[in-house]
Amino acid sequence: MSASSRSKRVLIYSHDSFGLGQVSRCRTIANALVEADESVSVLILSGSPMIGSYEFHSGIDFVRVPGVVKQLSGDYDSANLRVGVEHTMEMRTRIIRDTADIFRPDLFIVDKEPLGLRGEVGPALHLLKERGTPLVLGLRDVMDDPAALAQEWERKKIVPALRDLYDEIWIYGLPQINKPLTGIDVPPSVRHKTVYTGYLHRELPLHADVPHEIEEIDGPFILVTSGGGGDGEDLVDWVLAAYEHDPNIPYGAVIVFGPFMSATARESFKDRAAKFKNIRTLTFTNNLGALMQRAAGVVAMGGYNTFCEILSFDKRAIIVPRTKPRLEQFIRARAARNIGLVEMLDADGEKGRDPQAMATALRQLPQQGLPSDVVVPGLLDGIGNVWRLVAKQLMNPHRGPARLEAEGAADPADVADSPAVPPARART
């Protein structure tokens, strides 16, 4: 088997424990890679309890590490296991390192957290670095307020990892919207290996199921989404308050709560929504794009993935960004509004969560300009650019030595991929 035709392995780390952002981004990238090259296999390491709810293309699998949850204090705790968080983190670290060891990727992409949750990716990074495996850090367009991020990365000793471990840093956005490393004191070598890819374009699956809630609405509707929903109660409450204040808003709504919204809040919102013939609710859909494509407009908190979907499906949108615990959504929404891609409502402004302000915005939403009315070169070129960057790294794959089994025999897959085996014997 020639080096160019053998299977190529990409390992992706996504620590998501709460929310859908990282697992959705990693899924988008993984699907694009296996679609671009049938010889690519992608394995995703994830802590998300929702990863099994998504559909993946052939050639992709995932390893779910034991889950953790972030408390209001900022500390972490085990999500389901009745063991201490330190024990859970030890298991996660071991699983991540052993998976990297056995899978022997040709490329390792770490999403957002350079050293992983509480440093759990560090051992895997050092192992693969010693083997010569290319290591890439993928960052969203906005991380946080620069001052806050600088303090966090100083505490976590991130800059040395960027300098010494990573071969490239990919930013899934554009500098004219935001530069996430602004305010971080990094050496020139880190700046030189940083690449802006553009935003990650989203597409509908070939056989996308349309939630039946759409069929029950007569006329155009507005999609209201709070992402994972764990911090989306204020947004949903504000939208429902607007309809209660102004029952004659001419557009119906489909409200997607998100799987992490509390059951108590969901039931309360369902009762309020049931009083309107043109409002439907659902907890979760693994194909939000199908709803978004058919919507007259979108009201959202403005996380990275929702923002990419708004741009991809060219939807008029009102972004209501959160400002705690991070300013990420606010920074992104403000920058996008300033160049005319979306509108923004600031819940922390003078009027606060005024129902009349939301009602007015909902009435005006379908008359807003489209994102495509604004010309931003390279805005949605992220997927193509990521594939070109991956393909370049996979041209000369380097997995390091084959792992030997206890009996002393090499894994058959490793033998097949070993360049030391003559081509005639390389096929298994």
What digits encode the pLDDT tens for the residues 378-399? 999 999 999 999 999 999 766 6
**Tokens 């594939």 belong to residue:** 387
> How many CA atoms, within 13 angstroms, populate the side-chain half-sphere of residue 304?
29
Assess if residue 213 is contained within a domain: no
Q: From the centroid of its chain, how far is CA 169? A: 16
Asked whether the predicted pLDDT for residue 1 surpasses 50, the reply is no
On whether both 162 and 308 belong to a single domain, the answer is no
Alpha-carbon span 208 to 230, nearest angstrom: 26
Domain limit, last residue, from 373, 394, 416: 373
CATH number at residue 62: 3.40.50.2000
Residues in the chain: 428
Q: CB within 8 A of 53, min separation 6: which ones?
A: 259, 284, 286
SS3 content of the chain, % helix, strand, coil (to 5): 40, 15, 45
What pLDDT was estimated at residue 206? 60
CA 94 to chain centre: 24
Q: What is the largest CA-CA distance in the chain?
A: 75
User: Can you give the residue range of the structural domain that contains 328?
Assistant: 221-373
In a shared domain, residues 388 and 356: no
pLDDT for the residue 2: 40
pLDDT at 405 over 50: no
| Alpha-carbon span 308 to 313, nearest angstrom | 9
Strand segments (E) across 267-315: 279-282, 297-300
Report the alpha-carbon distance of residue 38 to residue 125 in Å, rounded: 26
What's the CA gap between 85 and 69, in Å, rounded? Answer: 10
Q: Which of 3-7, 43-47, 182-186, 255-259 has the lowest mean pLDDT?
A: 3-7
**pLDDT for 77:** 82
Q: Where is pLDDT greater, at 360 or 74?
A: 360
Is 307 domain-assigned?
yes
Q: Confirm whether 190 is domain-assigned.
A: yes
45 and 175 in a single domain? The answer is: yes
Banded model confidence at residue 272, pLDDT cuts 50, 70, 90: very high
The predicted structure's pLDDT at residue 45:
95
Average of per-residue pLDDT values in the chain: 87
Q: Give a yes or no: residue 1 inside a domain.
A: no
Q: How far apart are CA 319 and CA 306, in angstroms?
A: 10
3-state class (DSSP) for residue 10: strand
> Do 151 and 225 have their domain in common?
no
- Does 407 lie in the same domain as 362? no
Whole-model pTM: value is 0.88
pLDDT of residue 399: 65
Q: Tally the domains of the chain.
A: 2
pLDDT at 143 over 90: yes
